[in-house]
């Protein structure tokens, strides 16, 4: 990995991306059913106690395992650990399709938000792991402060407008 210097601090290379997420789950079959059946990922590989899922044939975006967690309880709400991981869909229409799938399957949605730079849907998987499914707006449309810095905020997401992206009001 290349590291760039900016004055006295080091800046990570701008081409860096966060790769896959690997989650400990209590029930592998239940977790696979959620990520495949509710969110629409495909199983790409299975090994004893683990499954790997992807979008579009990549080796895996999500790893699930019960190696240390089979039958385990969810961690307490007010404890350290993963707050949520995020799934970036290619565009607003893709986000609308996810919302439609969740609604059709009766999966509870924890919240939605317009963050200016993106629109997001929040939910939990069967093990209580937080998930943000989001679509970025084009960079040229990101809101900026008077100083030219990115201005993120949390406002209500216009669900009617979002659902029009897939032809449902």
The model's pLDDT over 65-75, given as tens digits with 9 standing for 90+, comes to 999 999 999 99
User: For 155-165, what is the mean pLDDT?
Assistant: 95
pLDDT tens-digit series, residues 103-121: 999 999 999 999 999 999 9
Confidence band, pLDDT 50/70/90 cuts, at residue 77: confident
pLDDT tens-digit series, residues 9-44: 688 888 898 899 999 999 999 999 999 999 999 999
* Domains of the chain (ranges, CATH numbers): 19-70 (3.10.180.10), 83-169 (3.10.180.10)
Question: Helix or strand or coil: residue 132?
Answer: strand
Instruction: Report whether pLDDT(6) > 80.
Output: no
Integer CA distances (angstroms), 109 to 7, 40, 56, 121, in order: 44, 16, 25, 7
Cα(66)–Cα(132) distance, integer angstroms: 23
User: For 62-85, what is the mean pLDDT?
Assistant: 94
Q: Give the residue among 44, 39, 20, 53 at the shortest CA–CA distance from 133.
A: 39
Return the ∠ at Cα 21 (arms to 52 and 101), rounded to 5°: 75
Instruction: Report whether pLDDT(56) > 70.
Output: yes
What pLDDT is attached to residue 43? Answer: 98
- For 111, half-sphere exposure in the C-beta direction (CA atoms, 13 angstrom radius) is 10
What pLDDT is attached to residue 166? Answer: 85
Neighbours of 123 (CB within 10 A): 21
Instruction: Report whether pLDDT(150) > 60.
Output: yes
What pLDDT is attached to residue 168? Answer: 61
């Amino acid at each position: 990995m290349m590291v760039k210097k900016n004055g006295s601090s080091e800046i990570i290379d701008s081409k860096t991306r966060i790769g896959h997420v690997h989650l400990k789950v209590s029930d592998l079959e239940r977790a696979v059913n959620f990520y495949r059946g509710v969110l629409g990922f495909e199983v790409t590989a299975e090994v004893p106690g683990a499954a790997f899922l992807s979008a579009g044939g990549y080796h895996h975006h999500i790893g699930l395992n019960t190696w240390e967690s089979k039958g385990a309880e969810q961690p307490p709400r007010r404890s350290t650990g993963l707050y949520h991981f995020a799934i970036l869909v290619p565009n607003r229409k893709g986000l609308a399709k996810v919302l439609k799938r969740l609604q059709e399957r009766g999966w509870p949605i924890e919240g939605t938000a317009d963050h200016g730079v993106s629109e997001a849907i929040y939910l939990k998987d069967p093990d209580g792991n937080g998930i943000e499914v989001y679509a970025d707006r084009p960079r040229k449309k990101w809101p900026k402060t008077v100083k030219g810095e990115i201005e993120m905020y949390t406002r209500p997401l216009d669900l009617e407008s979002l659902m029009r992206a897939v032809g449902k009001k």
